[in-house]
Amino acid sequence: MKQLIKFEFSKLLKKKLVFIALGAFALIYATMLWSWIFGNEWAVTQEGEMIYGTEAERYNTEIANRFAGPLTDEKVQEILAAFPRTDGMTTGDVSNNTYYPVANLFAERDGTWNGKTVQEVFPEFDEPPVIGVSSRWESFLYSMMYIVLMSGILVVIIVSPVFSDEYTSGMDALILTSRYGKKRCVMAKVISAFCFSIMMEAVILLVGFLLFAAGRGLEGWNTDIQLSELMVFSRIAQPLKCYEAALLTAFLAMMSTITVTGLTLLFSVLCPTSFVSIILAAVTYLAPMFLNPGSLTARRILMLFPVNSISVSGVMSVGGFSAGSLTIPLLAAVGGVAVVMAAAGTGGCRYIFSRHQVC
């Protein structure tokens, strides 16, 4: 069985399309990480000057360290007072990693306090949220979400030929008439597909996190990610530290990868060619991203699809499913979908391929 798995694993990488897809992904991956981790630092000073790079990094860090710690009502006033608006300037005319998220939540357009307290803005927090160097974490995790989305397309391209190429080449007849064709060969294909997808996603995540740690350090790991400049995670109505958001990003990425692999295997075993399998699997994977239903229940269901479930903000902000007195968190539901799709991909491939009629 080990030899079969190794053989099927190696077959996944012996196609020209796979090398092209991996090369293109690696180029996009490197570009995005460089842009978001190392080249995305910027700020607008009190004088209206826009600064970038190392200068902006020093400026943002100095201000963040000045006000770092629990965000109290007094600290909100201090931050707003430190960057007063004059001569018709608005809150958008000054931007740094500390002032902008606070002004966005606690200031009017002219920069004056809007009257809200920290408790009113964050009612679900038992303790005041912690502000600090969180915007770099936010930028990195935001870029990783799109990288994981693209890795799903990579999974579709690599896994689609697993069974469909056997139909095209006529090897299905040889496999099905061999001694272990209907059981061990099928399982070797399924196991190699899941192993490759999971290992690939693990490498993508690990490289990303290591580069971020090396390039930016881990400062701000215990700050609340809702108080970040892009406000990507502002919809999450519960405490969420930056390191917790990073762990959730990794978890959701792996669950999405497992779900996409199971889905693609089913298309591969059902479709006569890998081209048809790739098209159908890609459309099924990407289509839910463009749907925007008005119903909250429908939105929760759409969040279970792998292209949407990679968003920590989306999963954490739409609630869970209620079944009587029981509430199932959406995170648990996403994990459940991954388990179901892994089982469906495995069982479906064994059943469909073993009963495939050879022409």
End-to-end CA distance of the chain: 28
pTM for the structure as a whole: 0.89
Q: Which residues of the chain fall short of a pLDDT of 70?
A: 1, 4-5, 7-9, 39, 85-93, 170-183, 356-359
pLDDT of amino acid 291 = 87
**According to the model, what pLDDT value does residue 71 have?**
94
What burial class does residue 290 get, using C-beta atoms within 10 Å of its C-beta: 0-12 exposed, 13-18 middle, 19+ buried? exposed
Instruction: Please report the pLDDT score of residue 267 as a whole number.
Output: 94
CA distance 180 to 187: 10
pLDDT of residue 90: 55
Distances from the Cα of 107 to the Cαs of 79, 98, 99, 182, 213, in angstroms? 11, 13, 10, 66, 33
The pLDDT, as a whole number, for residue 171 is 62
**Is 341:173 a contact under the CB 8 Å cutoff?**
no
**What contacts 134, CB < 8 A, 6 or more positions away?**
97, 220, 223, 224, 225, 227, 228, 242
Q: What gap in Å lies between CA 13 and CA 10, rounded to an integer?
A: 6
Q: Report the amino acid identity of residue 242.
A: C
Question: How far is Cα 176 from Cα 145, in angstroms, rounded to an integer?
Answer: 40
Cβ partners under 8 Å of residue 54, min gap 6: 41
Helical spans, DSSP H, in the chain: 2-12, 16-33, 53-67, 73-82, 99-106, 118-121, 135-159, 161-169, 171-177, 186-216, 242-270, 274-286, 296-302, 306-309, 312-317, 330-354
Count of other CB atoms within 10 angstroms of residue 244:
15
Tokens of 223: 């700050």
| β 42-44/321-323 pair status | unpaired
Q: What are phi and psi of 9, to 5 degrees?
A: -65, -45
